[in-house]
């Protein structure tokens, strides 16, 4: 049985307090971190440096994934990584998603996708169908995490939970200063078992300074 912690965090392009965000991530201590709104332009060194500040590793084969990224802890083996572009929408910036295959010590390969969906419902549906089609081709247990830009009663979210289940907290994640909506989630395929949600002592000042989203995480087990 392999145990792992998966987290997700929208970092708003490092426009806020990057060091506060790094302290939050270190306190969560994830095996896998799915990032949204990583810097897009001239960003390779900045993203790699931030991952290192968190005690994690980033593979730049995922660069160009529309601001999404997957960081892994040193104990996780990255088997494969790729960037993916999603269809153009009317938004100014083209979106994408990061995809990776990873393995924990003694464990089986796991597919991971970090996602950040559109602000418009029609585009979100197109995007999530493309993402789910990609992860299904991996043929392995799957984790999907990120900012869906909609709540659990909306169509794209329901498509995800048609084959996966939400394993992160039900607490609101946005905006960080006065959370009203749960628009971020960690989702797992049926091979994973969720462990009772772990409450972590995260510094309130850092949570408010780091970015406009709250981080999410889940502790899971999977049979080897």
Domain coordinates of the chain in residue numbers?
2-222
Given a contact cutoff of 8 angstroms between Cβ atoms, the answer to whether 217 and 168 are in contact is yes
Q: Supply the pLDDT for residue 41.
A: 64
pLDDT in tens, 96-147: 999 999 999 989 999 999 999 999 999 999 999 999 999 999 999 999 999 9
pLDDT band at 64 (very low <50, low <70, confident <90, very high): low
Residue 42 has pLDDT above 60, yes or no: no
Cα dist from 188 to 31, 119, 144, whole Å: 15, 23, 6
Fold of 2-222: Deoxyribonuclease I; Chain A (3.60.10)
Q: Supply the pLDDT for residue 19.
A: 97
pTM, to two decimals: 0.96
Q: Which of 125, 10, 148, 124 is closest to 67 using CA atoms?
A: 10
Q: Supply the pLDDT for residue 166.
A: 98
Sheet with 216-222, edge to edge strand ranges: 57-58, 69-72, 32-36, 2-10, 216-222, 192-194
Residue 90 has pLDDT above 90, yes or no: no
pLDDT in tens, 16-29: 999 999 999 999 99
């Amino acid at each position: 049985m392999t145990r792992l912690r998966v987290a997700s965090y929208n970092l708003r392009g490092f426009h806020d307090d990057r060091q506060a965000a790094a302290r939050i991530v270190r306190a969560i201590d994830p095996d896998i971190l799915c990032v949204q709104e990583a810097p897009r332009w001239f960003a390779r060194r900045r993203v790699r440096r931030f991952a290192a500040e968190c005690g994690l590793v980033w593979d730049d084969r995922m660069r160009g994934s529309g601001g999404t990224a997957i960081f892994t802890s040193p104990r996780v083996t990255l088997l494969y990584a790729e960037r993916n572009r999603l269809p153009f929408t009317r938004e100014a910036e083209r979106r994408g998603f990061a995809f990776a295959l990873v393995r924990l010590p003694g464990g089986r390969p796991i597919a991971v996708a970090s996602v950040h969906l559109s602000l418009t419902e029609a585009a979100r549906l197109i995007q999530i169908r493309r993402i789910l089609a990609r992860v299904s081709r991996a043929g392995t247990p799957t984790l999907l995490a990120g900012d869906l830009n909609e709540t659990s009663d909306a169509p794209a979210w329901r498509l995800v939970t048609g084959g996966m289940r939400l394993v992160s907290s039900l607490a609101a994640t946005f905006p960080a200063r006065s959370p009203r909506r749960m628009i971020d989630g960690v989702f797992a395929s049926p091979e994973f078992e969720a462990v009772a949600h772990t409450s972590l002592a995260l510094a309130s000042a850092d949570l408010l300074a780091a970015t406009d989203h709250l981080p999410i995480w889940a502790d899971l087990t999977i049979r080897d």
